[in-house]
Chains A and B, each alone.
Chain A
Amino acid sequence: MKFRIDRETFADAVQWAGRTVPARPALPMLSGLRLESVDGADSRLSIASYDYEVSGRVEAVADVAEAGVALVNGRLLVDIARALPQQPVDVETEGTRLRVRCGRSTFELPTLPVEEYPPLPPMPEPSGGVPGTVLAGAVAQVAVAAGRDDALPFLTGVRIEVDGEQVTLAATDRYRLAVRTLRWTPRDPAFSAAALVPARTLADTAKALAHADEVHLAFGSASLGEGLLGIEGLDRRTTTRLLEGDFPKYRSLLPSESPTVARVETAALTEAVKRVALVAERSSAVKMLFNGSEVVLEAGAGDDAIGLDAIECSVSGAPMERIAFNPTYLLEGLAAINQPVTNMAFTNPNKPAVLTGAASFEADAADDYLYLLMPVRLPA
């Protein structure tokens, strides 16, 4: 194997594929990145990684003098590629070593037995496409509510439901639930699918493809293995195994009506919650006390430190005295709302609050995103 490649192209490609190299590989060769150079008219470098859960593959233009394959330690190659000077990079194998030269820097890495590296799962046919920035934004808004407890794997995923042109993303850790809808362009207008995708992988991948004009999602079919989702854009492809288990039937959990709606400036509430939460030890609750045209934020209690703050607030509907939330969950929700105004809809202090965004106090709430938050029940 022998090729020359632009330094930035090389570093980006290695970085992308390196994201999916496992930190603690089950098998030693899974710590590797698989480099393959293809010569001829379609001369290119392809880098792949795989840990039996997630695979990553990237193709980059390279000047290939000699086709070949090599497997080298992924983390090391990522670090090296990142540190190389701004010069063309020459890579070649010599016996069992891989040499990387760039300007006056030279690295030699031992190669791993590439024939033992597992074949990557085939990429399913794309089912449709969506602009990278739309997907990245939507996934980030939803993934924040996903669980992080591997003991409950079905809560660590983002549920993707496709119905024709409509895509719905949802995630919950049972303390909050985020739901986002968006439009996409399916190859088949009648396409429908549902999948539970590991939230972290989906968020990382969507973020890395945020500047792609179009990102393709490829839902596995019966013939290609159903437990797989492919994501493709910018000559980068990821496949991830889907999670098993029943995602909660969340639609029935959304409150059918909310007698009280409070409107606040998102930034003002965020700042106030952050301030009072300084005294909320171990994420103890932040109380919201509604009082005319303002809401008072209060954290801490009794003999311990207490924090108070107040912001403007317009309440409509039935009167609501107070409700309390875990400040971290509230702040994560406000950040995900991503709109200047937040509408908070309440039923009562022990029922879920539903947060939606709006462009202004006068505007209607955006109907493409909601963040449902379970309150904290205060001691009697």
Chain B
Amino acid sequence: MSRSQITRPHAPTGLGDDDAGCPILHVDMDAFFASVEVARRPELRGRPMIVGGTGSRGVVVAATYEARQYGIHSAMPMSRALRLAPDIVVVPPDHAHYAAVSAAVMAMFTAITPKVEPLSLDEAFLDVGGARRVHGSPRQIAARIRAQVHDEQGITCSVGIAPTKFVAKLASTQCKPDGLLVVPADRVVAFLHPMPVGALWGVGERTEEQLHRLGLRTVGDIAHTPRSTLVRALGRAAGTHLAELAWGRDERTVSTMERERSVGAEETFARDVDDPAVILAELLRLSEKVGARMRRAGFAGSTVSIKVRFADFTTITRSHTRRVPTDVSREIFHEARGLYLGLHLDRARIRLVGVRVEGIVEADAVEAQLVLGAPERGWREAEEAVDRLTDRFGRGAVRPARLLPELQVPLSPPEGPTTTRPRER
């Protein structure tokens, strides 16, 4: 790749170069998964290519900029992408490799400043306010990061530099791909106000609609609306939040706290499903999977959540927090089942279900409230035995009878497994 790409003019919006009050960097890899694939398969360079599952229900997880010109974007069903560009190259995702590249990039950030907040595999906030003496100004640091990512990983990234996190993130989006943009402290308002309201952090589809109904289309419109009007329309929290953001005020600091770990699994059905027995069986399978992973990692978690995506792609999640953390698949399923039945779905068509456990703690630090009349060795021990058999004989060596393919015992909603553990208060 030619270096000209990296040194193209930086400030497309003519905001100037003053990075004095701009300690926050938002670094965002460009088309991360796709770029990583291109980096290790040079023959794909310049060609439209997508990364994604190839099954009938696969989705695009990343698309090169060349592919995007066909109107393809991530999260699009694969079938649709292939209709838009029948000859496109499709590469199956290799998450382990992406995670390794991501770890290398994040390690590079941490060498510059300890204040790194990863948002996902491919983006992070950096606070370089304290690094000036050693590493130079924020702009110099950003330029170095971009060069180094390119040299070491063969991929490009974009960096937004601003006084606050959300402005830095907007700036990186503005200069994508392969760009760098400084929003000087005294130009934040000029930068923000022409933007559409949807650009603001926290404004989703619904809030955008509400704002449009008030006749507010740009961030500037919001900034010049009395706070009381916003609060009345959106509620106290959201109204106050937007009034602050519209003037570029964002109190969030770069938080190096490790993001709360969670363990989850989800499954897209080959065809939409409306049969509760099939969905419950899938929730059971996912609970088994999540439980086994947690036990292997030595985790227990207190919050169990389920995710349900309907045929029309609307997605809901429901969660319940237990009094005592668990790593027992059966208990995870008990919660998941309760959450699913609590939706009272009337044979709605479901595309995807997921089970997740959050509020992770070390399993051997968990206190166990003992139960009257329960055997001293219970389900947990049984599942540990299953884990050992799985290690020895492979996945599925032992599994719930309901999940045996040749023995599809129906799992009707009113019955199901009954654990006699009272719900937490």
Residues of A within 8 A of B (CB): 147-149, 151-152, 155, 172-177, 248, 250, 253, 282-285, 324, 326, 350, 352, 372, 374-380
Contact = CB atoms under 8 A, between A and B. Distances in A.
Chain B binding surface, main DSSP class: loop
B376 interface: yes
22 contacts: A148-B422, A151-B422, A151-B423, A174-B373, A174-B421, A175-B369, A175-B422, A176-B372, A177-B372, A282-B323, A284-B367, A324-B367, A350-B370, A374-B371, A374-B372, A376-B367, A376-B368, A376-B369, A377-B370, A378-B367, A379-B365, A380-B364
B232 interface: no
Q: Give the bracket for the number of chain B residues in contact with chain A.
A: 10 to 19
Interface in B317-374: 323, 338, 364-374
> Which 4 A-B pairs have CB atoms at the shortest separation, nearest pair first?
A149-B422, A149-B423, A374-B370, A377-B368
B4 interface: no
B425 interface: yes
Given A147-B422, A282-B323, A283-B323, A350 B376 contact: yes
A13 B291 CA distance: 55
A38 to B, nearest CB: 45
Contacts of B425: 148-149
Nearest to B421: A174
B420 interface: yes
B200 to A, nearest CB: 35
Contact of B422 (A155, A248, A374, A376): A155
Contact of B420 (A152, A253, A372, A377): A152
Given A148-B425, A149-B422, A376 B372 contact: no
B372 A248 contact: yes
B366 A152 contact: no
Contacts of A350: 370, 376
A152 B423 CA distance: 8
A174 B421 CA distance: 8
A282 B338 CA distance: 22
Contacts of B364: 379-380
A48 to B, nearest CB: 33
Contacts of A284: 367
A376 B370 contact: yes
Contacts of B338: 151
Contacts of A380: 364
Given A173-B422, A174-B422, A326 B373 contact: no
Nearest to A378: B367
Contacts of A176: 372
B422 A377 contact: no
B372 A174 contact: yes
Residue of B367, B368, B425 with most chain A CB atoms under a 10 A cut-off: B367
B234 to A, nearest CB: 30
A253 B368 contact: no
B121 to A, nearest CB: 30
Nearest to B374: A174
Chain A binding surface, main DSSP class: loop
Contacts of B367: 284-285, 324, 376-379
A374 B374 CA distance: 11
A200 to B, nearest CB: 14
A294 to B, nearest CB: 24
A375 B370 CA distance: 6
Contacts of A155: 422
Given A147-B422, A151-B423, A152-B420, A175 B368 contact: no
Nearest to B368: A377
Contacts of A282: 323
Contacts of B422: 147-149, 151-152, 155, 173-175
Nearest to A176: B372
A380 B362 CA distance: 12
Given A149-B423, A151-B423, A285-B367, A253 B376 contact: no
B372 A326 contact: no
Given A376-B369, A377-B370, 4 more contacts: A149-B423, A151-B422, A174-B422, A374-B369
B411 to A, nearest CB: 17
A375 B368 CA distance: 9
Contacts of B372: 172, 174-177, 248, 250, 253, 352, 372, 374
Interface string B116-135: 00000000000000000000
A251 to B, nearest CB: 11
Contacts of A324: 367
A248 B373 CA distance: 9
Interface in B359-396: 364-374, 376
Contacts of B365: 379
Interface string B4-25: 0000000000000000000000
A343 to B, nearest CB: 19
B301 to A, nearest CB: 14
A367 B374 CA distance: 26
A285 B323 CA distance: 12
Contacts of B374: 174
A180 to B, nearest CB: 17
Interface in B397-425: 420-423, 425
Nearest to A328: B425
Contacts of A375: 370
Contacts of A177: 372
B415 to A, nearest CB: 14
A377 B422 CA distance: 18
Nearest to A173: B422
B318 to A, nearest CB: 16
A160 to B, nearest CB: 20
B114 to A, nearest CB: 21
Residue of A174, A326, A374, A376 with most chain B CB atoms under a 10 A cut-off: A174
Contacts of B323: 282-283
A285 B374 CA distance: 19
Contacts of B368: 376-377
B67 to A, nearest CB: 49
Nearest to A301: B365
Contacts of B366: 379
A107 B364 CA distance: 64
A174 B423 contact: no
Given A151-B338, A282-B323, A174 B376 contact: no
Contacts of A283: 323
A298 to B, nearest CB: 13
